[in-house]
Amino acid sequence: MVPLPLVQSSNQLIPSTLPPYLIAVFVGATSGIGEATLKQFAKHTVQPRAYFLGQSQDAGDRIAAECKALNPNGEYVFVKADVSLIRVVDEVCEGIKAKEKAINILFLSAGLPITDRRETSEHLHLLSALIFYSRLRFTTNFLPLLRPAPSLRRVITVAGGTH
C-alpha cells in the first residue's frame, strides 16, 4: 500500500502539474471512498467540474456545498440515480455527454455489503450489477469522451480495499 504521506505530497503537486478545468465523474460519491476522493479532487484541482452520483439527495446537497466551500471556483453537480440499473446508467451517460466533450477522470466506487443478495428489476444480482455490469457500462459509454481528454485520462474502479 502506498504510504499516506506520499499520497498527500503527490496531491500537493496537482495544482502545478495538472492543467485547469479537469472534468470528473464520480459514481457512488454520497459517502465513503467516493465522497473522500471527490473532496480531494475539489480541494486540489484548479477550476474543476465534477458530476457525482448516488441515491441520497440530502447527502448530494451536503457534499455539493462542502465541495464549494473547499474550492469555490469549482462546479459540483449532483446526479441522483440508481446505477444498479443499466437503463439508468445509459440515461445518466447521455445527459453528461450532452454537456461535455471530454472527461478526464471516471471514478467508480458504488457498492454494497457483500452479503446483499437482492436482484434488480433487470434480473441482475444487485452487487454484481453495481461492481461489475454498471461500471463496465459507464466505462464503455464514456470511452468516446475519455479518449480525447487532454492530459489526464483515467478510469479508476474501487472494489477491494487497498486495490
Q: Which residues bind ligand NAP (CB under 6 A)?
A: 28-34, 53-56, 59, 81-84, 109-112, 130-131, 158-161
Length of the chain as a residue count: 163
| Distance in Å, CB of 152 to ligand NAP, minimum | 22
Which residue, judged by CB position, is nearest to ligand NAP in the bound state? 111
Task: Report the residue number, 12 or 56, with the smaller CB distance to ligand NAP.
Answer: 56
Instruction: Select from 18, 19, 25 the least CA-distant residue to 106.
Output: 25
What is the phi-psi region of residue 28: left when phi exceeds 0, alpha when psi lies from -120 to 50, beta otherwise?
Answer: left
Asked if residue 57 lies in contact with residue 24, where contact means CB atoms within 8 angstroms, the answer is no
| Distance in Å, CB of 85 to ligand NAP, minimum | 8
Task: Report the residue number, 84 or 141, with the smaller CB distance to ligand NAP.
Answer: 84
| Distance in Å, CB of 61 to ligand NAP, minimum | 12
| Distance in Å, CB of 131 to ligand NAP, minimum | 5
Task: Report the residue number, 23 or 83, with the smaller CB distance to ligand NAP.
Answer: 83
Asked if residue 130 lies in contact with residue 83, where contact means CB atoms within 8 angstroms, the answer is yes
| Distance in Å, CB of 151 to ligand NAP, minimum | 26
Asked if residue 128 lies in contact with residue 52, where contact means CB atoms within 8 angstroms, the answer is no
Task: Report the residue number, 6 or 163, with the smaller CB distance to ligand NAP.
Answer: 163
Asked if residue 120 lies in contact with residue 129, where contact means CB atoms within 8 angstroms, the answer is yes
Question: Can you list the alpha helix ranges (DSSP code H) found in 109-149?
Answer: 126-128, 134-146
Task: Report the residue number, 104 or 109, with the smaller CB distance to ligand NAP.
Answer: 109
